[in-house]
Amino acid sequence: MASNRRALVTGASAGIGEAFARELARRGFDLVLTARRADRLEAIAAELRDRHAIEAVVAPLDLARPDGPEALVAALASQGLHIDVLVNNAGYGVTDYLDEQPWSTHAAFMQVMMTAPTELIWRLLPGMKARGYGRIVNVASLAGLVPGSAGHTLYGASKAYLIRFSQSLALETLGTGVHVTALCPGFTHSEFHDVNGARQLVSNMPSFLWMDAPTVARQGLDAVEAGEIVYVNGRVNRVIKALFKLLPDRLALKLTEREGRRFRLRRASSPHP
């Protein structure tokens, strides 16, 4: 059990984030849960308090706010709450080509996907080092390890950033008691595809490509505990990563462009609610 250890999970109201909260509670960690949906966070926190006899604090927050990470860490400090485990999970996807969305949409996306997790680590890392214990899981994606695709211009790029950032940070924290892992799941059952409007389309994909969120979370915590710096969930995803690594860049991009074009055509022809 994780006596007196506390974890902060971003995007904890559903999907992989909720699964991380549940797995951490099962392992005995106290929790700080943050996301935009306060009612959903409260319900999860109440359930986990009762089931696992842990403390669970709710901190509703939109990480698209530039002052969000600073405000969150300041609020925790004012309550005397230190963070031993950070799971940077909050995220979403923006569809359409780069110039088809207003800049404000892209700015908010980059704030949530790259700036906020980096700032949270910058603010919480000194305390972890001082206590000689810390676990940081940056939820990246298989998309950060394969060529980028049209229509999701910044998604793969943001995940590639998290992977490279995690690798550098892991080297910087060697010997401090802090472990850093970039977690790279592929298709995972969650609300992600409902938010970006692709649920009906991706539901037609083969079942062997999919994983469930609790498995992803459990593997992620095991990986960071073991000191794995980059962990790809699932055999199928590891095979996909290996294949793209072996392919020449030109061929890999051509395959990605072809499959991306097929996906966009199917999406354009699929009925919308």
Closest by alpha carbon to 170, among 144, 134, 146?
134
Contact yes or no for 213/14 (Cβ under 8 A): no
Q: What is the pLDDT of residue 200?
A: 47
d(CA 143, CA 138): 14
Across 3-160, the runs of DSSP E, i.e. the strands, are 6-10, 30-34, 56-58, 85-88, 134-139
Can you say how many angstroms the Cα of residue 90 is from the centroid of all Cα atoms in its chain? 6
**Of 92, 155, 161, 231, catalytic:** 155
Domains of the chain: 6-269 (3.40.50.720)
d(CA 125, CA 77): 14
Amino acid identity for residue 116 in this structure: A
Across 96-171, the runs of DSSP E, i.e. the strands, are 134-139
Q: What is the pLDDT of residue 251?
A: 81
d(CA 94, CA 117): 18
Residue 133 catalytic?
no
Per-10-residue mean pLDDT of the chain, 273 residues long, equals 83 97 98 97 98 98 97 97 98 95 98 98 98 98 91 95 98 98 86 47 60 96 98 91 84 74 53 45
Contact yes or no for 27/53 (Cβ under 8 A): no
- The tokens for 67 are 């002052």
